């Protein structure tokens, strides 16, 4: 036995009077070319002949299997999905919440942010940054940094006190213009970023 | 209306009061009416530096609390008719200061003078906060050493968050004075050079004052160093005062030390 499954386009129409039916098909013929036409109403020779002339496939008075029943099976799952989405999305938003700060962090000032931070200025001695996300500082850091994100990008900063995931980073390893600090297998890995970065 | 300028530093002993006295006198010499106010309640010094030690009858606290008018409390300097002085109380302490009264006092000074210069106390406590509260501009005095710079940095941070102008959504203009620059030590690398300081504090420079031993004697005598025309520090203060009055004055290099024979020799080839 050979079976095939199609999902075809079906155009359903109720036949009331032949003239308006034919004029409708004359107008919309190009649109309906590839559809299977299902006609509800009295079968008539005129219509059959007309449709065959136009080379359209048609059926009379066929009940189309309704999707409504199937939908009712899907809907609870859909609702569940949406509920889960709603739960996830605010978290997602927070996680991708990047803050850009262009101000100098002066002594005694503290920037504490739950998301990510791009700091385009320096951190002076006595200033501090506490952050749960990823941190990028484009200028020198003389103050202290606490970061729990995926990675940090820092300049060579020999006065800085840097703690990454509760481990103190030996800042003598920060040697280049820009260094990437990340945690790989519970070990802090510092990779120099040698490519010139333009921040503008 | 006058401009209110607070002279701040955070750390003590960097030369705030000396700077206030000299710049106040310098502004007066530029034909502007100027009043210097000592805000260091309980530890007044400015009267001595201006040579007005035994002329103080009423002080700031008398004006704020008792029925003494400002005219009664202001002391005119003998050195310039344009310069007046308002003393801090020596018997009270910082707790007598209240925003409302200070605001009233400063408003009445602004009405009468072109420049109102406030000498802030050291530290960043209430006395300091009251000084900067109504300031339009600030002169930040630092010495070329790390602790002075960090303290000034902190003081600027507080200025940027607690002054009335900032709370109203404006900004207080800050200008940097690097005081007590020892050219020999800068060249040997023992003292921070001014580019590094400007990098850290990132506020515009308005003057560099070289170290001058004559300042101690000038303070003891009650004659600000700006009066001795051949003192390098005095000349530097005069330039700062002129810049504050809106004149364009070129910066003079006080950091390179050109007196020595080797320097001269090097200069011949450079």
B76 φ, ψ (degrees, to nearest 5): -85, 135
Given a cut of 80, is residue A72 above it in pLDDT? no
Does this complex have an ipTM over 0.85? no
B3-269 maps to which CATH number? 3.40.50.300
For the stretch B13-30, pLDDT in tens is 999 999 999 999 999 999
pLDDT digits (tens, 9 = 90+) for B157-178: 999 999 999 999 999 999 999 9
What is residue B267's predicted lDDT score, i.e. its pLDDT? 56
The residue segments making up the domain with residue A14 are: 10-60
pLDDT higher for B95 or B62? B62
pTM of this prediction? Answer: 0.73
Please give the pLDDT value at position A96.
63
Total Cβ atoms within 10 A of residue B156: 27
Same domain, A53 and A104: no
- For residue A150, the domain's CATH number is 2.160.20.70
A133-142 long-range contacts (CB < 8 A, ≥24 apart) are A133/A95, A133/A97, A133/A98, A138/A199, A142/B200
Q: Which of A149, A185, A166 is nearest to A136 (CA)?
A: A149
pLDDT in the model for residue B49? 94
The verdict on A162 and A110 lying in the same domain is yes
Q: Nearest by CB to B150, which of A104, A122, A125?
A: A125
Instruction: Give me the number of domains chain A comprises.
Output: 2
Spatial CA neighbour of B11 closest among B175, B142, B196: B142
pLDDT class of B8 with cuts at 50, 70, 90: very high
B72-80: average pLDDT? 94
Residues A53 and A103 in one domain: no
pLDDT surpasses 90 at A79: no
pLDDT at B106: 95
- Are A183 and A165 within 8 A, CB to CB? yes
Instruction: Read off the pLDDT of residues A95-112 as tens digits, 9 standing for 90 and up.
Output: 568 899 999 999 999 999
Q: Is residue A156 part of a domain?
A: yes
Would you give the distance in Å from CA B258 to the centre of its chain? 28
In-domain check, residue A87: no
Would the pLDDT of B44 be above 80? Answer: yes
Which positions in chain A touch B200 (Cβ < 8 Å)? 122, 124-125, 142
Q: Do B154 and A125 touch (CB under 8 A)?
A: no
On whether residue A82 sits in a domain, the answer given is no
Residue with structure tokens 């006295």?
B21
pLDDT of residue B13: 93
Q: Where do the domains of chain B lie? A: 3-269
Q: Which of B149, B157, B202 sits opposite A108 (nearest CB)?
A: B157
Domain assignment present for residue A5? The answer is: no
Question: Which residues face A192 on adjacent strands?
Answer: A179
- Among B129, B157, B176, pick the best mutation site for testing chain A contact (most A Cβ within 10 A): B157
Return the CA Rg of chain B: 18
Q: Is the residue at A69 inside a domain?
A: no
Taking only the tens place, the pLDDT of each residue in B244-257 is 999 999 998 888 76
Whether residue A124 contacts residue A105, with contact meaning beta carbons closer than 8 Å, is answered with yes
Closest CA to B210 of B184, B181, B251: B181
């Amino acid at each position: 036995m050979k079976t095939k499954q199609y999902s075809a386009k079906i155009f359903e129409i109720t036949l009331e009077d032949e003239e308006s039916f034919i004029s409708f098909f004359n107008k919309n013929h190009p649109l309906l070319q590839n559809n299977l036409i299902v006609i509800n109403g009295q079968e008539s020779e005129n219509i059959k002949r007309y449709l065959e002339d136009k080379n359209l496939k048609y059926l009379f008075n066929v009940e189309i299997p309704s999707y409504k029943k199937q939908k009712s099976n899907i809907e609870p799952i859909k609702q569940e999905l949406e509920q889960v989405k709603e739960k996830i999305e605010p978290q997602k938003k927070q996680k991708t919440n990047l803050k850009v700060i262009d101000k100098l962090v002066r002594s005694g000032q503290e920037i504490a942010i739950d998301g990510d931070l791009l700091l385009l200025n320096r951190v002076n001695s006595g200033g501090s940054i506490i952050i749960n996300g990823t941190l990028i500082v484009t200028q020198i850091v003389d103050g202290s940094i606490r970061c729990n994100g995926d990675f940090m990008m820092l300049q060579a900063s020999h006065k800085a006190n840097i703690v990454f995931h509760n481990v103190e980073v030996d800042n003598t390893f920060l040697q280049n213009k820009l260094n990437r600090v990340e945690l790989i297998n519970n070990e802090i890995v510092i990779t120099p970023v040698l490519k010139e970065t333009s921040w503008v | 209306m006058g401009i209110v300028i607070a002279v701040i530093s955070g750390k003590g002993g960097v030369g705030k009061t000396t700077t206030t006295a000299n710049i106040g006198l310098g502004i007066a010499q530029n034909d502007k009416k100027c009043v210097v106010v000592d805000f260091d309640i309980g530890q007044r010094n400015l009267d001595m530096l201006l040579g007005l030690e035994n002329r103080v009858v009423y002080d700031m606290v008398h004006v704020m609390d008792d029925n003494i008018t400002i005219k009664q409390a202001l002391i005119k300097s003998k050195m310039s008719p344009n310069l007046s002085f308002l003393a801090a109380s020596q018997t009270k302490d910082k707790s007598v200061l209240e925003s409302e009264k200070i605001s009233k006092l400063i408003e009445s000074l602004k009405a009468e003078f072109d420049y109102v210069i406030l000498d802030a106390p050291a530290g960043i406590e209430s006395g300091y906060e009251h000084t900067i509260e109504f300031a339009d501009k600030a002169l930040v005095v630092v010495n070329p050493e790390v602790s002075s710079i960090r303290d000034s940095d902190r003081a600027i941070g507080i200025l940027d968050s607690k002054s009335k102008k900032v709370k109203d959504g404006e900004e207080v203009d800050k200008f940097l004075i690097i005081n007590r620059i020892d050219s020999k030590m800068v060249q040997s690398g023992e003292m921070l050079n001014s580019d590094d300081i400007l990098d850290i504090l990132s506020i515009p420079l308005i003057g560099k004052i070289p170290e001058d031993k004559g300042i101690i004697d000038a303070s003891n005598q009650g004659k600000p160093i700006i009066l001795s025309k051949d003192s390098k520090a005095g000349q530097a203060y005069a330039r700062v005062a002129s810049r504050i009055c809106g004149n364009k004055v070129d910066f003079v290099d006080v950091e390179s030390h050109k007196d020595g024979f080797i320097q001269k020799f090097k200069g011949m080839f450079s």
